[in-house]
Structure 1
Amino acid sequence: MLTNYPLVFVKFSVLLIVLFTIEVAFSGNKGELTLRQQIRASIEKVKINKATREAAIKKGRDVASFCAYCHGFDGNSIKPKIPNLADQDPTYLMDQIEKFADGRRKDFTTVMQQLAKRFTREEKIALVVYYASVRLKPLSQDPILAAKGRPIYQKRCQLCHGVRGRAKDGYARIAGQQPTYVITTLKNFRDKAGDRSSRVMSTVTRGLSDSDIRALAAYIIGL
């Protein structure tokens, strides 16, 4: 036990640093958290009873036709580099749509910014309520690679995204997500490349190798 103490101490120290950095990042971003709370309240008003929820789902299904070419008619992506939207947390998805609309999110801007600006707020809410109601189709998983990704997920991702990758309250559902999309996104966060940035995700992905990220994506598929 004593011979392993230095290694355990180092791992624990690294974990504390990651958690502290995440806490600092969130505490400096209270305005964004307030916006998420407002978004959640708007969505809950629609979901409060069966009639308004079903009306929103019906309307959202129609709006989703604009998204089907990339994300699939039911939110199950038909392109590996495009994320699934089926069964996504509605607050998170609405927040991302708003970020595309006002320019805070700059990746995929050629298509996404135009669509996000085109939709009314009512249509956006209906869209995210619809996608949240759709079942996510399972993807095939490499069990050996996934086993390598499990401890990485538990250490790096579980705090925000949950044990099963089905986080709520404004965090993304990543369970069952397209692996190519996950790999590309995590590499961009790690390398601070591309047009999407996040202090939290850059911190979480720091030090991950390409093989770590592939293993992580393989584990996430099966959550």
Structure 2
Amino acid sequence: MEIFNFSAFLQDYFKTSYHVLDSSIQKKDYVSLDLSVKNQALECFDFSVSNNLNTYINTFLFERNAKVAFGGYLEKRNLYKRSNYFNDNTLENERNIHLGIDLWCPAQTPIFSLFNATVHSFKNNTQFGDYGPTIILCHHINEVVFYTLYGHLSLESIANLEIGQVFKQNQQIGALGESQVNGDYPPHLHFQIIKDLQGNFGDYPGVCNESQVDFYKINCPDPNLILKL
């Protein structure tokens, strides 16, 4: 029996780009951002202070005359060393591989559903370094069921939400949160595609250990297969 290839399905079915930010933001307004351990500019960077990263990203955008910085899929980052949520001081258990794509832009930026969807779950994930307010949507396309996760939203985004609530494609589902509510990060969207939620509710790992990468590459394909940034 042929094994279903979720990444191939995404690549074959979605031929044009889809957006989670306002469609008026043009492709030329996006710029790729490297926050990996390979970025030498970050070697002596103090990630423990979110304002430092905020200044770095804002300067990065300003110097490139861009509106949105994006990137991070399967990126190995030192950013998570600041939080015990990802780091228990043992290298074999450290989670530092990013599983979604980040879109860095101002707080209150509207976020939209990529496709017709129902709300699977939502939650305020409040641990330091976690998602903060998070929405998970369920999609049924060509008899394939999968999920999209939107993390680091505003509290207002989940205040009146209901499980099973229907969103149409390109309908606003929420907005980005400030650092005070989004896990202590500069404002950004963590966007992730998930085939199997594995029983999770309002949450799903967005960062994994290096030993888990092979599984998550299959279960959480590159969001750029759809966003095409």
Superposition TM-score, scaled by structure 2 size: 0.27
Q: Which has the larger radius of gyration?
A: 1
Whose strand fraction is larger, Structure 1's or Structure 2's?
A: 2
Superposition TM-score, scaled by structure 1 size: 0.28
